[in-house]
Amino acid sequence: MPKKMHNKSMLKTVMKQKKAAMYKLPENPLEFYISEEAAAYGRKPPFTIHYDNPEQSVKLLKGDCIEILNQARENSVDMIFADPPYFLSNGGITCHAGKMVSVNKGKWDKSKGVEKNHKFTLEWLKACQRVLKPNGTIWVSGTTHIIYSIGFAMQELGYKILNDIIWYKRNAPPNLSCRYFTHSTEIVLWAAKNQKSKHYFDYQLMRKMNQGKQMRNVWEISAPLSEEKRFGKHPTQKPTELLSRIILASTKEGDLVLDPFCGSSTTGVVAILRNRKYVGIDLEEEYLKLSVKRIEEAIAKKETKLFVDEKVSGL
């Protein structure tokens, strides 16, 4: 190679390394970053920070979860709860509060066909697997419309499926068509990052919560109460009771919990009240604003509880 060409090549390499060095991995896993390769080509983070509370270790990001997680710190998350699109917005009807309403939830919930839907499922599950710690776990909720695709994708990616939780809704709405059995359950799959994972499970606490008996995989829990929707409604909001059980079962205090489709951030509310760190990701500005209201209320409740505890203990 001619000397001039060699020097030019060396200069480009040095410049690229200097530029990439500006984007080193953060020590705090709540800080997302741009990969060195992307930084070297001048790319910007694929998200905006919608809310950031370092004192409470809470962060909300607006953007595509696949793009964000593919450039986030690897092996940094202890637990993920994901409530992905169920692809049910097909013009049908359902019953809500005794009234006939449309099932359409938004563009994000429209089906693109079986193959494209499954490809999307594979992509976001792969991105989640990347950021999970070696012993981390993921919980994914879904109805019959999507849960089997999720289970198959988990097997394709090498996840270790630990349990299928049957969430039985005591107050499920009736079936208006009278042509099917009334839908009153959702499945929540619990899986470890891979076959080598040594996942955390607080067996004793779950047994204590179940009157001293082993807790089974059928959970009878009501849909979200009206109090949980007082700041606004999300069409697929999960009850705090469900998330509380999930987070208590599979994480320790101080662990980092991620929700890649956070919606109104029920996961975040419970994480805060249970002394866990939280990162939520969503594309919809409306629901991120709703999340902020709920998160700030949870922080206020937590601080009030701490203040009461301090007074009682005499500290």
pLDDT digits (tens, 9 = 90+) for 22-31: 444 455 556 6
The H or E element that residue 161 is part of is strand 160-168
Question: Position 98: which residue type?
Answer: G
Enumerate the domain spans of the chain. Answer: 50-313
Quote the longest CA-to-CA distance of the chain. 81
* pLDDT for 252 beyond 60: yes
Per-residue pLDDT tens over the stretch 116-150: 999 999 999 999 999 999 999 999 999 888 999 99
Do the Cβ atoms of 65 and 260 come closer than 8 Å? yes
| Under 8 Å between Cβ of 168 and 193 | no
For domain 50-313, the question of CATH label 3.40.50.150 is answered with yes
Tokens of 147: 């849960």
Measured at the CA of 242, the angle between CA 240 and CA 245, to 5 degrees, comes to 105
Between the CA of residue 221 and those of 145, 189, 197, what are the distances in Å? Answer: 21, 16, 29
Query: Exposed (0-12), middle (13-18) or buried (19+): which is 41, by Cβ within 10 Å?
Result: exposed
- Tell me how far apart the alpha carbons of residues 32 and 49 are, in angstroms, rounded to a whole number: 10
Measured CA distances, 64 to 11, 123, 143, 273 (Å): 35, 12, 23, 27
Q: Are residues 283 and 62 in contact, defined by beta-carbon separation less than 8 angstroms?
A: yes
For residues 22 and 183, give the distance between their C-alpha atoms in angstroms, rounded to a whole number.
52
**Cα separation of 250 and 77, whole Å?**
12
Determine the residue type at 298.
A
pLDDT digits (tens, 9 = 90+) for 153-180: 999 999 999 999 999 988 777 777 788 8
Q: Tell me: pLDDT of 302 over 60.
A: yes
What is residue 231's predicted lDDT score, i.e. its pLDDT? 83
Who contacts 119 (Cβ-Cβ below 8 Å, separation ≥6)? none
